[in-house]
Every structure is written in structure tokens, then in C-alpha cells.
Amino acid sequence: MRTHGPMRQQDAGVLVRGAMAAHPLAHPAARALAGVVTGAVAAALALFAVIMLASCGPSDARQSPRGAQGDRGDQGPRVQRVVTTTAHLADLVRVITGRRYGVGFTVEALMGEGVDPHTFKLTQSDTAKLTRADLILVNGLHLEGKMDEVLEQLARAGRRVVRLGERLRPEQVFSPEGAGGEPDPHFWMDPTAWSTAALAVERELSTLDPDGSQDYRVNAKDFMGELLELDRYAAEVLSSIEESRRVLITSHDAFGYLGRRYGLRVLGVQGLSTDSEAGVRDIARLVETIVTARVPAVFVETSVSDKAVRALVEGARARGHTVEIGGALFSDALGAPGTWEGTYLGMMDYNLSTIARALGGTVPEGGYRRLWLERRKP
């Protein structure tokens, strides 16, 4: 179970320097203190920096005659800044803002392709972005574990910090066996749970920009309909896998929601967080499962080291069973920006196809993308 310790000296320093980067004309006393942070004053000084920035952050840009990055200055209403922790959330904002993206809102994700959110640490630049944001969207459920203290400080200082995992209905939250009741943060792997997140984002955007609320409601409704189609497609594709082969083994336990929704047995070398270590016993236990169940394939992840999974392959080979690496799944990150896999729908399509093919199932030609494109034909 995760525990909260005191803020480290280096983390407090990053936070304060990020505050200075966001507002170079900040109070001289804060600037003088930004250089060296020591002992018990570290957390207090970091909180002071956040409170200072929260009180004069976005409002400074409104008063600027030229406007700041993300603003339109004298040309019209100010563009609202949305900062998300993950690319999944940034994609969701872009979908729901639709044609108003870049007009009513800009969105920026702190974490990009191949970044592991469990171990992600804020930089000075990241902190500056957060302090300038009008809305901060966070996955929550301790996915961004190393950011929790800073996010809590920003919220206490008046920033709008929304943890979408807390907007799920109780029955939607999954806690795997052996997790001690800790919730699984990877809820985007269930399209029905992601639909709940979409509704929450729509409401936040509509509150921030009432003029665009009608557009946001329509876009969210359309996307939620798309998620229903994806849910049906996922059930069809994964049910094509022979029941005895429906065992999904990955680098860490990121696919529990997918498994619960579609009837897969999901096992990870590491637990819910990649911040935990896999031991010899964990490897041996999974090798035993692979050999006994004659599992045909195991999977690495794009944002996690493949070392532990390759140890499974070698362990099974030593026991006389050949298991292949079925592919690299997108667990905690999307694909490259500008690609199909760089969107939520594309990420899910790729994962579903990769899992089904490797475990002996069938995938329609063109996958979910073909169906998605056909629905958009005039």
C-alpha cells in the first residue's frame, strides 16, 4: 500500500523553481529562497510557492496587454489552458472540445509516448505548466503516485484539480486479488469506465466555458456512443480466443479492467505499479502457470522494461515449453502523436488485435479502425 512521506529537498526545489519559471516577476523573497531548500522548511516553502502562483497565475495572463501562451490577448476571449497528466486524458479533451479546440481550449499532456506514469517525476517545466493551468485533469487512484503531493498542494491553493478515477461509480472500480483493497488505476482499459470519464470531462469543460457547452455535450454523447461500439467489438474479438487460452500475462498488472470486462485471466509480473519489484518467486509462479496452462504467448509493454517478461520466456523454455512474446502492448501510454495508436480508440484497437492474434483468436480485416472509418463515410 502506498504511503506519503515528507517532500524531499530536491522535489521542493523543483516545485519552487517551476513557480519562478511560470512567473519570473514573482515576489523577490520567493526568488531568493528558490536556490537552496533545506530541512523541515522544504515542504512549507514548496506550498508557499504554489499558493503564490495560484493567486496570480491565469489572472496575470488576462491582464497582459499582449496575452500569454495559450491566450488571444486583445483579439478575443482568453483561451483556457487544460493540462492533463496522461496522453489518454489529453486525447479525451481534444475529442470533446472538437472544433473549439484551439479556440476555447488548449490541452497539453505532461506525459508522452512511452512514459511510465507510476515513476514519472515533475520537472521545473512541468510545474510551471501546472501553475498556469485553468484546469488540471488527473487519472487519480494513485496512478501518478510521485505527483500526488504537488497535486494536493495545487488543489489546496485553489487550482481546479480533477481526479477522474474518483468520478467512477463504486461498482466500476476494480481492486485485484492480493492488492489489499487498493484500487486499480488503469480504468481506461474498460470502455464503459472511460465513458464515465468522458461525461465528467464534458461537465468540467462546460463549467469552464459555458459558451461551448452545447458542443461539448454533443461531442461527448457521440464519443460515448463510439465507446459502446468499441465495447461490443472488444467482446467479439476476445471471445474468439479459445477459453483455455484466455490468459493474459504482461509486465505489470495493467489489464485488470480489460480482463474483468471480457473474461480474461490477467497476471502481471509486477503489481499495479511498476514502482514495485518482481522477485524470483513471482517469476517462478508465473512460469508454472505458463507451463501448466500451455500459454502460447506473453506480452511486453511499451512503457515498461521487457526484462521480466523475457525471464518468463527463458524459464518456460527451461521447463520444455515454448512461449512467444506476443507483442508490445500499450499499457500506461498511447502510441506516437499523429498516429492511430496515438489516440485512445487506436490504442485499444491495437491492443485487442495484438492480444487476440497472439492467443489464437481471430481479428476482422482492418480491425476496429475499418469499422470506425466506415461509420464516417458520407
What domain count does the chain have?
Answer: 2
> Domain containing 327: what range?
242-374
Clarify whether residues 173 and 217 are in a common domain.
Answer: yes
Clarify whether residues 213 and 67 are in a common domain.
Answer: yes
Mean pLDDT of 157-175: 96
Q: Tell me if 26 is assigned to some domain.
A: no
Q: Tell me if 280 is assigned to some domain.
A: yes
Clarify whether residues 218 and 252 are in a common domain.
Answer: no
Clarify whether residues 249 and 368 are in a common domain.
Answer: yes
Clarify whether residues 145 and 247 are in a common domain.
Answer: no
pLDDT given for residue 282 in this prediction: 86
pLDDT given for residue 62 in this prediction: 35
CA-nearest of 20, 7, 9 to 132 is 20
pLDDT given for residue 33 in this prediction: 33
Q: Tell me if 19 is assigned to some domain.
A: no
With 50 as the cut, is the pLDDT of residue 181 above it?
Answer: yes
Clarify whether residues 268 and 170 are in a common domain.
Answer: no
Q: Tell me if 9 is assigned to some domain.
A: no
Write down which residue in 228, 257, 288 finishes a domain. 228
Clarify whether residues 267 and 191 are in a common domain.
Answer: no
pLDDT given for residue 110 in this prediction: 97
Q: Tell me if 37 is assigned to some domain.
A: no
pLDDT given for residue 84 in this prediction: 98
Clarify whether residues 153 and 285 are in a common domain.
Answer: no
CA-nearest of 203, 222, 195, 165 to 348 is 195
What CA–CA distances, in Å, run from 125 to 59, 294, 369? 20, 48, 36
With 80 as the cut, is the pLDDT of residue 95 above it?
Answer: yes
CATH number at residue 357: 3.40.50.1980
With 80 as the cut, is the pLDDT of residue 13 above it?
Answer: no
What does the alpha-carbon distance between residue 369 and residue 340 come to, in Å, rounded to a whole number? 8
Residue pair 111/84 in contact by the 8 Å Cβ criterion: no
Mean pLDDT of 317-325: 97
With 60 as the cut, is the pLDDT of residue 243 above it?
Answer: yes
SS3 state at 269: strand
Clarify whether residues 219 and 246 are in a common domain.
Answer: no
CA-nearest of 85, 211, 195 to 148 is 85
Clarify whether residues 291 and 362 are in a common domain.
Answer: yes
With 50 as the cut, is the pLDDT of residue 69 above it?
Answer: no
Task: Give the DSSP H or E segment for 178.
Answer: none
| Amino acid occupying residue 270 | Q
Clarify whether residues 318 and 363 are in a common domain.
Answer: yes
Average pLDDT, rounded, for the chain: 83
With 80 as the cut, is the pLDDT of residue 21 above it?
Answer: no
Mean pLDDT of 148-175: 95
How does DSSP classify residue 211?
Answer: G
Clarify whether residues 220 and 72 are in a common domain.
Answer: yes
